[in-house]
Structures are given as structure tokens and as C-alpha cells.
Structure 1
Amino acid sequence: MPERSEDQEWAARAAAGDESAFRAIYRAHVRPVYWIAHGILGSVVDAEDVTQETFVVAWRKLPKLELVGDSILPWLATICRFQAANRLRRRIRDREHTAETPDETIADTVNVEDQIISAELAERIAAEIGTLGELDREIFRLCASEGYAYQAAADELGVSHAVVRNRLSRVRTQLRGAVKEVRDA
């Protein structure tokens, strides 16, 4: 039997009610989910709300999830896009029922093409992260996902500040290349 990915293990444990496993999923994926929401909504407050709503829905739906692939991020990205679309519809409905002048900055529809690109981008980033070595994945998780400073990540991993800085720079360059491939496609 092939070894399960970290996401697959966390998802199985969380689906069985393990809150610490769900917290691990949250910590690993909250930033990408937030940026997907922010990209759709263009509002920090709404993106934060939708991010939280995404994880609430994910917690509720995890017992029925049949994870395809190694990463749970594409599934979370799909939930996030639906939550963001619901938020946009609510904004439009609220705007139509107020006496104030309409806010022309709110889109009337959600651009499906942008959503597909976001899903492809999330999948490509998740796949690219999966190709990283264990130390590089941990450096990326700590610095990019959890917001650790270089020195704090270095202390946590028992390596030097320079190792964290150099490896993270290389990982970011690799991810930028992957993102460029999706955008140029």
C-alpha cells in the first residue's frame, strides 16, 4: 500500500473528528485560501470572513471527502470560490435593497475563467510543493504559510538563517515559474 501524503493523513484523522489534524490542515492552507478569496473579493475583511467560512464548511464536509491526489488545497480552493461567489451575490442583493447609490466596484458576476485559473493555480502550486524535499517543504510551510521570520524558522528546524533564506528564495523562484506556466497557458 503506497504511503499517504501529509494532507491525506490529516484529512483522514480530521474526518474521524481529530481537531488537531484539522488545525494542521488549517495552518498549512489558510494563506493560499485567503489569497484566493482576496483575489475574488478584493476586500481584506470579506476575504478573512470567506476564509473562515471555507474552513467551517470543510470541517463539516470532511467525513464525506474522498481526497483525489496528495493535496487537499484544490478541494479547499473550490469551497472558497463557492463561498466567495455567495458573498458577492449577498453584496449585490444588499446593494439593490439600499437607498444608497450603487457601488460600481462590485462585480455583477463571478468570472468563471478567473475561477478556473485560480483552481489550476492552486493545483499547480500544490503539485510543485509536493516535489520539494522535506527541509524545503518545512521551510516553505513555516515562512510562507505560517509567517515565521527566517531566524525563527531556522531555530525551529535547527539550521542557519542563511540556509532558510537561500532555500526559501530557491523555492519561491520555483513556484513563480510554476505560476507563470499556468498564467501563460
Structure 2
Amino acid sequence: MPSSEDRDWAARAASGDQDAFRAIYRAHVKPVYWIAHGILGSPADAEDVTQETFTVAWRKLPGLELVNDSLLPWLATICRFQSANRLRLLRRDRANTADALDEALPDTVSVEDQVISAALADRIAEEVGLLDELDQQIFRLCAVNGYAYQAAAEELGVSHAVVRNRLSRTRTRLRGAVKEVRDA
């Protein structure tokens, strides 16, 4: 997605424009969901935390000073905090029931994992921002919105092969950025 869209949507949503906030939601709901799911491991809890993340974002948008042109790192941070809150609530609820505490439920959210996730989200957003306009649109449609190659090709007025090849190059580029963060 063009990074200027996030900045524009954030400014409009901060002044109460619900359509702009819907655009933010549509653009970022899937990555936020997968961050929550990665922490919580439960689709139902991830859905709840995703909704909580966007509720908090709506309240905090008027005071937001966007550091870069992408809202995703900010939303990812809210999501991680909401996920940590959900984990505490789940542990407390389970401790107060007759059932044994689920051993699969982590005791804490690793600060190191949160830092790596934030750095990774920042690095990916930065790398996507460096792509040309067509590659950004292909990435947004296929990787973020889940379009099939042919559907993205029709939407953008290019061939299936163009979408497949350009997305493949973008994924290779992003894998390099991910490796860079993980090796740091």
C-alpha cells in the first residue's frame, strides 16, 4: 500500500472520519490478526484482540504522531500489549476455575520476542515502502488482502505472470530484510 495513504487515513480518522478508519482497518486487519494469533495461539482470542487493537487505535489516533509513513508498527505494538493483557486474563480465569492451568499458555510474553516483532514489522514496512508503486499494490493485494494472482492481475490490469514474478521478487527481498533483523 502506498505509505502516504496511511498518513492521510490517519489524519482524516483522527478528525473523526469513519471511512478513513475503515480503510485503515481493511489495510491492516490481517497482519494485526496474525500477530495476535502468533502470541495467543487461538483464533477466537486473536479475533477478539484484533478488534480490541482497532478500538484502542480509534481512541488514540487523535494524539498520534506518526513516526514513519506506516501505521502497521504502531498497530502491532498495540496488538502485542492487548495480547499480553489477554494472556494475563486467561491465566487468571483458568487459575480461578477447577480446571488445571493449561501448560501450553505462556507465563509471560517475551520482551525479546516483542522487540524482534516490532523491529521486524518496522523493517518490513520500510522495505515495502521502498518498492515501486506496482510492486506495493501487488504486495497489498496478494500478501495483505489475500487475492489470488489472477484476481490481482485483473484488478491491476496486468498479466498473471507479472503478478507472480513481481511478488516472487518482493518476497525474496522481504526474506532478506527478515533475515537481516533476525541476524542482528
Query: Is TM (by shorter chain) over 0.5?
Result: yes
TM-score range, shorter chain: over 0.9
Deviation at 1:66, TM superposition (A): 1.0
State the alpha-carbon separation in 1 of the partners of residues 51 and 175 from structure 2: 27
Deviation at 1:89, TM superposition (A): 0.2
Root-mean-square deviation (Å):
1.1
State the alpha-carbon separation in 2 of the partners of residues 172 and 48 from structure 1: 26
Q: Does 1:52 align with 2:46?
A: no
User: Secondary structure, in 3 states, of the residue corresponding to 1:5?
Assistant: helix
Deviation at 1:34, TM superposition (A): 1.4
**In the alignment, which residue of structure 2 is the partner of 1:131?**
130
Deviation at 1:28, TM superposition (A): 1.6
Preserved CA contact (<8 Å) 2:53 2:82? yes
State the alpha-carbon separation in 2 of the partners of residues 135 and 122 from structure 1: 21
Q: Does 1:83 align with 2:82?
A: yes
Which segments of 5 or more consecutive residues in structure 2 lack a partner in the other structure? none
Preserved CA contact (<8 Å) 2:91 2:101? no
Preserved CA contact (<8 Å) 2:120 2:181? yes
**In the alignment, which residue of structure 2 is the partner of 1:95?**
94
Deviation at 1:91, TM superposition (A): 0.6
Superposition pairs of residues 1-185 of structure 1, within 5 angstroms: 5-185=4-184
State the alpha-carbon separation in 2 of the partners of residues 91 and 12 from structure 1: 35
Relative to the length of structure 2, the TM-score reads: 0.95
Deviations 1:95-121 (A, max 9, x none): 110011221111111111101111001
Deviations 1:145-166 (A, max 9, x none): 1111111111111111111111
- Runs of 4+ aligned residues of structure 1 deviating over 6 Å after TM superposition are none
Count matched residues. Answer: 182
Q: Percent identity?
A: 78
Preserved CA contact (<8 Å) 1:27 1:145? no
